[in-house]
Chain A
Amino acid sequence: MTIKSRKRRERLGDAISFTLVCVFVILVLFPLWWIFRSSLMTNPEIGSLSFFPGRWIFDNYAAALEVFDYFRYLKNTMTILIPCVVFGTITAVMCGYSFARLYFRGRSFVFGLCISSLLLPPIVTLIPLYIGWVRFLGLGDTYWPLILPYLTGGGAFNIFLVRQFIMTVPKELDEAAKIDGAGTLRILVQVLVPSILPAIIVVALFIFIGIWNDVLLQTVYISDVNDYTIALGLKRFSGSYGTDWKLAMASTVLSILPGVFVYLIGQRYFVEGIVMTGLKN
């Protein structure tokens, strides 16, 4: 009888949890619906409580594209994003491999420096980096200050992630390849990369998110309107008084879409990657 009553209580708990989860998911998704619904309305209607647009004005999107130079911004964003993702991932794999498999004196010291840099808030070094890029190297108003940092392993965290994963691959695998006469580069590309592919995808996704999310660095380094990224283009709506909300929201929806697309493709890896960031420490 006790087992039965416990089972019933358990089932009741599950039912309550399910209800709560539904309520919270609706709350979490509500802002997104509200933005989308606002993007299809007239400005006065946006301020009302109506849950659906009276008339679905898809022309708002056409009007938004007149003031929000979406395709130019998207192209500019990609100009930064693609080299960062490609070279950031490659260098992260190289460095992670070196830390995991190749021994040299002072390796743990260098690795320690690498790990401690994780605790350094990037914003602290913004001023000297700005002076370096713009004053010393004259790279102001170019994308280089946004791209070049990713050629250094895509950040300590990504190097760390790759290293951890390579360390889980049995060493016998490289040894076997070595006996077959493979050099380190061949071992890395033909043996290790295939076996840690999920981690590599995760690194690429993290670099993507980092750039996709960035507002501060783009604000600091880009000033020419022609070079604006999606984030900066969107920011122009916030500066003016009397924002035209229907256009601002249509532009916001447009700027969310590419990220959602990438998320849908890489969802499994996203989740895996997030779990790795939180559990591997």
Chain B
Amino acid sequence: MGKASIKRSKLARYEARLAKIYLIPAFLGLTFLTYLPLLSVFALSLFKWTAIMPKPLFIGLGNYIRLFSKDMFFWTSLKVTIQYAVLTVVLSIAYSMSMALLLNRKIPARGFFRAMFYVPYIIPAMAVYMSWGLLYNKDFGVFNALLAQFGFARIAFLVDSKYIIPSLAVIAVWTSGNLIVIFQAGLGSVPRVYYEAAEIDGANFWMRFIHITLPIMSPIIFYNLLMSLIANMQVVVPSLIYAGSNRTTYPEYTFMSFLMYRSGFINNEFSYASAISFVFFALIGAFTLVLFSTSRSWLFYEGGDK
């Protein structure tokens, strides 16, 4: 017995050492690509450092003061980022949930349709925005061709400040076919008996959706809501493509990530860009916390726990 336990502890020690060897990549990644850079973002934000300065100069909260009180773009950028993210998340969840519900009916060629909805998701971002750049174009785009056909004035969807954010949101919704697949899989796991019981009680489609589908799907919806919110708040590619070449960009394109990109990589103000990054990090953290803390009241887990 004693011998066996010594042997086992030896084995355990050997195993622990092996575990750490296998985990070297993760250790390196977590240290040098995640947590150390996160600390550095905060540290850097307390300095003044541009590409031409040989050494950073400590200025305390100076960058934050400049950001909150002097940067004319910051508050706009906060506004448009939240507008875009909320609009996009709400629309894409509504769209993909509806499509998943439709696909969940007894219809022919379901797999084919699902695959078709999913196609935009595999198109690389650059190609997506190039394509929509044409569709939305004032002179060559199909939407404007239609408007002109019916005698309406042409609209510069990607330039006119009223239309920029909704137009970008449509693009994001178009590429959200992955959510349809997720929701459809979730719907498939709802026990049929629930619906059958509800039907015997005379519940119509809408009541079944509200009282059965939605509660059972709530953890999946919550997870996808959180993940797409975080992803969409980081929006930067449309700005790089549609507004990147102009130094004086439209306020609707100065999403927070783009503000950070412009400060860091075009104006070469590393430390100021770090301050923006850190504020952005705090903002996403706050959103995540709010979502998590409210989730208790509307999340439903099977087994009766609320």
B115 CB-CB contact with A under 8 Å: yes
Which B residues lie within 8 Å of A220 (CB)? 261, 265
Q: Which residues of B from 77 to 128 have beta carbons under 8 Å from A?
A: 99, 102-103, 105-108, 113-120, 122-127
> Considering only CB atoms, which chain A residue lies closest to B264 in the complex?
A127
Q: Which of B33-41, B68-76, B160-168 is the contact stretch?
A: B33-41
Please pick, from A107, A259, A277, the residue contacting B124 in the complex, using a CB distance under 8 A: A259
- By CB atoms of chain B within 10 A, which of A114, A126, A219, A263 has the most? A126
With A216-B240, A235-B241, A255-B127: A107-B116 Cβ-Cβ less than 8 Å: no
Nearest CB in chain A: distance from B167 CB, A: 13
A198 CA / B220 CA spacing, docked (Å): 22
With A113-B30, A117-B30: A128-B105 Cβ-Cβ less than 8 Å: no
Contacts between the two chains (Cβ within 8 Å), count: 282
- Please determine whether B284 and A31 come into contact, CB atoms closer than 8 angstroms: no
A278 CB-CB contact with B under 8 Å: yes
With A91-B25, A127-B260, A127-B274: A14-B107 Cβ-Cβ less than 8 Å: yes
- Please determine whether A123 and B126 come into contact, CB atoms closer than 8 angstroms: no
- Please determine whether B41 and A127 come into contact, CB atoms closer than 8 angstroms: yes
Which A residues lie within 8 Å of B122 (CB)? 209, 259-260, 262-263, 270
Which B residues lie within 8 Å of A119 (CB)? 230, 285, 288
With A17-B105, A216-B240: A113-B140 Cβ-Cβ less than 8 Å: no
B131 CB-CB contact with A under 8 Å: yes
A269 CB-CB contact with B under 8 Å: no
- Please determine whether B126 and A255 come into contact, CB atoms closer than 8 angstroms: yes
Nearest CB in chain B: distance from A236 CB, A: 10
Contact flags B218-241 to A (C-beta < 8 A → 1, else 0): 011001100000100110110011
- Please determine whether A149 and B105 come into contact, CB atoms closer than 8 angstroms: no
Nearest CB in chain A: distance from B119 CB, A: 7
Nearest CB in chain A: distance from B240 CB, A: 6
- Please determine whether B125 and A245 come into contact, CB atoms closer than 8 angstroms: no
- Please determine whether A277 and B182 come into contact, CB atoms closer than 8 angstroms: yes
Which B residues lie within 8 Å of A129 (CB)? 33, 37
With A46-B140, A129-B33, A248-B130: A123-B236 Cβ-Cβ less than 8 Å: yes
Q: Which residues of A from 16 to 46 have beta carbons under 8 Å from B?
A: 17-18, 20-21, 24-25, 28-29, 31-32, 34-35, 38, 43, 46
- Please determine whether A14 and B127 come into contact, CB atoms closer than 8 angstroms: no
A275 CA / B179 CA spacing, docked (Å): 9
A64 CA / B36 CA spacing, docked (Å): 44
How many residues does chain A have at the interface if contact means C-beta atoms less than 8 Å apart?
94
A268 CA / B174 CA spacing, docked (Å): 21
B270 CB-CB contact with A under 8 Å: yes
A179 CB-CB contact with B under 8 Å: no
Please report A residues at the B interface, Cβ cutoff 8 Å.
6, 13-14, 17-18, 20-21, 24-25, 28-29, 31-32, 34-35, 38, 43, 46-49, 91, 94-95, 97-99, 102-105, 107, 110, 113-114, 117, 119-132, 149, 151-153, 155-156, 159, 184, 209, 212-216, 219-220, 230-231, 234-235, 237-239, 243, 245, 248-249, 251-252, 255-256, 259-260, 262-263, 267, 270-271, 274-275, 277-279, 281
Q: Can you report 13 A-B residue pairs in the complex whose CB atoms are below 8 A from each other?
A: A35-B134, A47-B141, A95-B25, A98-B20, A123-B236, A124-B277, A127-B260, A132-B32, A215-B125, A249-B130, A255-B127, A279-B182, A279-B220
Sample of 6 further A-B pairs with CB below 8 A, known A125-B40, A127-B270: A17-B107, A98-B22, A98-B26, A124-B277, A152-B33, A262-B122
Please report B residues at the A interface, Cβ cutoff 8 Å.
12, 15-20, 22-23, 25-30, 32-38, 40-41, 44, 99, 102-103, 105-108, 113-120, 122-127, 129-135, 137, 139-142, 145-146, 149, 174, 177-179, 181-183, 185-186, 199, 205, 219-220, 223-224, 230, 233-234, 236-237, 240-242, 244-245, 257, 260-261, 264-265, 270, 273-274, 277-278, 280-281, 284-285, 288
